[in-house]
Amino acid sequence: MDVMAVLSAPSASRAAKPRTSASKRVQNRAAYLFVTPFFIALIALVLLPLGYSAYLSLYREQIVGGVSFVGLENYITAFSDPKFLEGLGRVTTILLVQVPIMLALSLLFALIIDSDRLRASKFFRLAIFVPYAVPSVIATLMWGYLYGGEYGPIAQLGATLGLPTPDLLSQEWMLTSIMNIITWEFVGYNMIILYASLRTLPTEVFEAARMDGAGAFRVAWSIKIPAIRPALLLTLIFSIIGTFQVFNEPSLMYKIAPNVIGASYTPNLYAYNLAFVNQQVNYAAALAFFLGIVIMVVSFTVQNTIERRNQKAMG
């Protein structure tokens, strides 16, 4: 009986192998079936439009001669286009001024809500996040009403109190007004990301630090903030991408103050007006690709610089 069992064992294992491989094939087919819609959407909605835009950016439509291949000439023109460069300078100002303020406020709110000293933390967390749920179109129209020099509540309050109020829709203040709208919209979004990262940290570390005499500020500065550096980097990259893609706010402000905001106030607004108003689709596609390259270079540079500093600090 023992000999027969030994002889029959290989055949049983060989019989089990086809079943196992068949089940794996079924699982693989099911996996491919589930991911197929994603790849179809990716190809149809991202890769094909990008490919077509790249194709358009290499051509130019002229009055005489029609559409002709110009290679990289549209990209070279973008380097010397004063309207595009001025818009690029404005979004760069937003990146250098508004983004640090917004992320600092987001971090501050996340740390305050994460602390045990704040009462009704759920209410404040929801209240800070709610502006992100407001569509940017509605938010811009609302702030445009608040900024109004004749009918706006800010100007009326200043007049009531006898205080001079600046014209927030003037050439001097328009960029600041737009930065304020963006900050109001996205502080809550970044706060939620940082707060979620803070909630994953082990509480034992904080308790040990408090037992050693560390105060709330010391715990936040020396433990919490270094521990959520990946989340901070993520919000920074998202903010860089969003800054160079600013469109809704200047587009609606253009209707409120057309003499202040032109058709090329930001690169995205400029490309939109070139494509859909002036019918210069080829040059608009080149500007869009050029802007995408700028975003990739800036994002990669910032990420690489921060990672190197972190490695030096840890080393």
pLDDT digits 0-9 by tens, 46-60 = 889 888 988 988 888
Q: pTM score, two decimals?
A: 0.83
User: Sorting pLDDT into bands at 50, 70 and 90, what band is 6?
Assistant: very low
d(CA 249, CA 268): 11
| Chain segment 103-127, per-residue pLDDT in tens | 999 999 999 998 877 788 889 999 9
Number of domains into which the chain is organized: 2
CB 205 within 8 A of CB 263: no
Quote the pLDDT of residue 119.
80
d(CA 307, CA 310): 5
d(CA 106, CA 100): 10
CB 113 within 8 A of CB 173: no
One domain, residues 215 and 109: yes
One domain, residues 149 and 227: yes
User: Sorting pLDDT into bands at 50, 70 and 90, what band is 18?
Assistant: low
Quote the pLDDT of residue 150.
76
One domain, residues 33 and 179: no
Q: Is residue 219 in some structural domain?
A: yes
User: Sorting pLDDT into bands at 50, 70 and 90, what band is 1?
Assistant: very low
Amino acid at 296: M
One domain, residues 121 and 253: yes
One domain, residues 25 and 79: no
Find the CATH number of the domain harbouring 293: 1.10.3720.10
User: Shortest CA distance to 248 belongs to which of 170, 176, 182, 171?
Assistant: 182
Instruction: State which residues form the domain around 26.
Output: 2-57
One domain, residues 46 and 158: no
Q: Is residue 46 in some structural domain?
A: yes
One domain, residues 143 and 207: yes
Q: Is residue 62 in some structural domain?
A: no
One domain, residues 86 and 192: yes
Quote the pLDDT of residue 3.
46
One domain, residues 161 and 279: yes
